[in-house]
Chains A and B, each alone.
Chain A
Amino acid sequence: MPDQHSHPTTLTVNGERHDLVLDPRVSVLDALRDRLGVTSVKKGCDHGQCGACTVIADGRRIVSCLALAVSYDGAEVTTAAGLGSVGALGALQEAFVDRDALQCGYCTPGQVCSAEAMLAEAEAGMPSHVTADVAALDPVRLSPEEVRERMSGNLCRCGAYPNIVDAILDVAGERGLA
């Protein structure tokens, strides 16, 4: 039994299982980058405000800077690298390239992970702040306004927003959500 300040923690990252022993202060973000060398997730603010650290954990988008790794023991984590790779890009990655939806690219891994989960939320019928009538339980149609609202947790310091919205709408259209 390890002492109470180090905890055996398993994270499956982009399909690969990792067994770690972690101080409970370590965030999922720091476990990924500093312990596992997974750099396809970025640290911006470390306070939950910018979205650069967004990953998908057990199907939900999270800001990994506010997630303690010990609390996510056993989780399946997907970072941007898990959505596709060079030569075999995922649909959103492809659309970001096609639409020139980045400048420096620092926010992009978080943007694509957030967008992937956001599209799944839309498919599941989850409403948003700009849904006209939440009580109607209508299926979600992603307009530019809907995409901007649903993606507002991902900041882009380069201001690539117009092209980010277009890229996401391309994929939303392919999936019958726009």
Chain B
Amino acid sequence: MEVEVIKGLKFQKKQDVAIVGAGMTSFKRRLNETGRELNYYAVRQALEEAGLTIDDVEIVVLGSAPDAFDGVHMKEEYLSDGAGGFDRPYMRYFVGGGTAVFAPIAGYFHVASGLADVCLVVCEEKMSSCHPHPQSAFKYIWDFFLDRPLKPNLIWIFALEMRRYMHVNNVKHEDIALVSVKNKANALDHPCSHVAEKITVEDVLNSEPMALPVRRLDVSPPSDGAAALVMVAAHKARHLTDEPVWVTGVGWSLDTTWWTNRDLYYPRYAAESAKMAYKMAHITDPRKQIDVVEPYDPFDYKELHHLEGLGFAKKGEAPILTKEGVTQRDGDLPVCPSGGLLGVGNPISAAMGVKACEIYWQLSYRAGKRQVAKEVSTGLCQAWGDLMQISTVMIMSNKR
């Protein structure tokens, strides 16, 4: 057995892991369905695509963001029935927005380790329960003594990061706005999308100021939604499909929570998480070896920031890729072909539906109108969260 090591990590596995089914609900500002009902919808679809029933599931992973949004403590218990969590090992994983890829990473462990052959991964978010706006729950993310007395809004941290990125790399707002234009247009082809629309760079630059440089159209909307994935061992995958998608690498990394002590222009956490996943997946040149990418895009500048951290562009050069159309669906490196969080919506952990699920659908050629033009064999999805300093990465391939 081949063993790779990064600072003492041994990438040994008992069996290869394939994804054979995925599902997601509509993403909307407010859905009437409860979180349990949304989970049920997403799981039923994923099982249908996989050709399995709930009785085939051996273990369940749940991903969900702070309880404060739902206003119910230990919401993994509340959500368990819709997630298929009864009478089998069930556990919740949570790293803020990073959960959208961390939950599938947890599912990967369960199968790769040999603990289970069939793992169901479910992510749910119901942000509308905290009303009129979930921002009121977000304010409790800030440090009690250092930040809260200044009466901050969560957007501040992103505005400060965006300005620093623009300043150090000499990037203009109009170059960043192109990301929002692209992703919202891509989302027009996604049946579940919340804020898909044809907009222009001028629309973004003239939209309502929130915390400059951040304006309304630079930001993804809070959404309700759920998503699910079915991950199975190689010997199971053979019986289920001729088109399995294999998980070839996973990685995650956390930077310091002393966030005012980091130079915000570059996401070091993203680079570290990618390094781990690349080592595992034998990727040495991501720009050449990876065909399609779903980086976390809750803000337009974050897609660029993350592309640079993940090694798809040099520092400050991701805006050039965007400007040249390389990141369009028919480009050489399609980025956020789903429409991403900016276009389909941002139900924190359930963003798995446009990150891990989308890369799976792209690599199995099931993305319909969203299918990228080029031939694809390897894809990467990434999510970001906690106090803006965790990155989670998964690499998939349709070749074993």
Q: Real complex partners, A and B?
A: no
Q: Could you tell me which B residues sit within 8 Å of A by CB distance?
A: none
